[in-house]
Amino acid sequence: MKDIRLMKGNEAIAEGAIRAGCDGYFGYPITPQSEVMEYLFANKIKERTGMIVLQAESEIASIHMVYGGAACGKRVMTSSSSPGISLMQEGISFMAGTELPCLLLNVVRGGPGLGTIQPSQSDYFQTVKGGGHGDYKMIVLAPASVQEMYDFAKLGFELAFKHRIQVMVLSDGAIGQMMEKVELDEQVPRWTDAEIKAMSPWATTGKTPDRERNIITSLDLNPVKQEIININLQKKFKHIQETEVRFERIQCDDAEYLFVAYGSSARICQKAVLLGRERGIKVGLLRPITLFPYPSDELAKLAKQVKGMLSVEMSAGQMVEDVRLSVNGAVPVEHYGRLGGIMPAPDEVLNVLEQNFIKEKTYEPHTN
């Protein structure tokens, strides 16, 4: 029998992490994601799987605890919301430099500054374009449902260890707080010490006579070597771009107009697609699931088919830059967003699409 439960997004990712065999969670409370740590404490994970959970003194400490655990080859994670994620950028950059796998979650709230506790998508640049110092990228997964919050814990750990990279689940206050049904799967056992040694021979597990000492460091003062380290990192990101793109096409096959949206905005656009079809507009939705790697090729293909794309984000226009880079001028691309924690309504985004591409014809319809 299937194990189906009604859960909040934040609870779902916590349960997902436990069942994915997570070894440790380190975090600091912040709305709208405090339920992640609360759920872990309430669910007696020590008894269930032996996973540990620790409330740190700050997000800075949390991410460096994650660093310590990840450098031992363990499956470790932290979660926070925008202001806390800003504090973590130092540690994330250090993990990028040391290629440590980990699972991170940002349940985004509106900014800048303390902003609001309402949902937003204004951390796209920070997440996808770097955030911390140095030339690095994380794999970024954008859940659009509570089920995906659950699923992306396991997927995130898999990708993190497959590529020795940080995986950020970029969620938002709406996905984190809303309740939906979730289908749970079997418990994945936590790795044994022997499994960790076999899987992650680079991990600091104590120097034994059979191997050289393991060192986890991002420092190399020799610029020639440092350049090689950076080139290798870039090769890895390129490989990830080529192999790990994930997206969902919704009513794209015959679409003349396209919404591009992720997370909560994608849910809104999904509804707008239905409304549009009722109004006789052939509109579809491309939902990027990975924000890095970005589904640029898919968008470039769709640019040959549609007359206009509307990037819908709860931001002043961040992801729209990647949409424009992907289509490279082949088709008009507009942005629509609400700011400060306001979520747009489906008819609102549909009206914007109509105004931009159909009614007012601000652009010559695209033909080729």
Binding site for another protein (CB under 8 A): 23-24, 26, 52, 54, 56-58, 60-62, 64-72, 74, 76, 90-91, 94, 98, 204-209, 213-219
HSE at residue 4, side-chain half, CA atoms within 13 A, is 4
Least separation in angstroms between residue 71's CB and another protein is 5
> Would you tell me how many other CB atoms lie within 10 Å of the CB of residue 102?
27
3-state secondary structure at position 124: helix
Q: Which of 225, 107, 217 is nearest to 171 (CA)?
A: 107
Least separation in angstroms between residue 252's CB and another protein is 44
Nearer to another protein, 56 or 178 (CB): 56
Least separation in angstroms between residue 61's CB and another protein is 4
Nearer to another protein, 100 or 309 (CB): 100
Least separation in angstroms between residue 147's CB and another protein is 29
Least separation in angstroms between residue 215's CB and another protein is 5
DSSP 8-state secondary structure symbol assigned to residue 119 = B
Backbone φ, ψ for residue 182 (5° rounding): -130, 130
Counting beta carbons within 10 angstroms of the beta carbon of residue 77, is it exposed (0 to 12), middle (13 to 18) or buried (19 or more)? Answer: buried
Give the separation between CA 286 and CA 323, rounded to whole angstroms: 11
Nearer to another protein, 208 or 368 (CB): 208
DSSP string covering 140-167: EE---SHHHHHHHHHHHHHHHHHHT-EE
